[in-house]
Amino acid sequence: MHMAMVIGGGVVLLGLFLLFGKLWGGAQPDYALAAKLFVPVWLAVALLNMWVGVAKAGYSVRAELPILVLVFAVPALLALLVAWRVAR
């Protein structure tokens, strides 16, 4: 359940980045740049989530790595899909 909530939070954060891309893009909304800027920010959040799982919840790094990949990949791939679609 926690993993789904973190992924959902990533999608919401991507939506906020896209909203700011629209608001600060001037006459031409810059969704592609906003989506590209989202990816490193989301990587930092996903790594922080992994650290909390290892340091506070007591999971091993080996147990947390597949979760890190999934938590990072879903919103990041969605962001790259958005960047690709608006760049066309």
pLDDT digits (tens, 9 = 90+) for 33-86: 999 999 999 999 999 999 999 999 999 999 999 999 999 999 999 999 999 998
Residue with tokens 């597949």: 66
| Confidence at 19, pLDDT banded by 50, 70, 90 | very high
CA-CA distance, 22 to 16, in Å (whole number)?
A: 10
How many Å apart are CA 88 and CA 66, to the nearest integer? 32
Q: What is the pTM of this model?
A: 0.91
Query: DSSP of 12-45, one letter per residue?
Result: HHHHHHHHHHHHSSTTS--HHHHHHHHHHHHHHH
Tokens describing residue 50:
């992994």
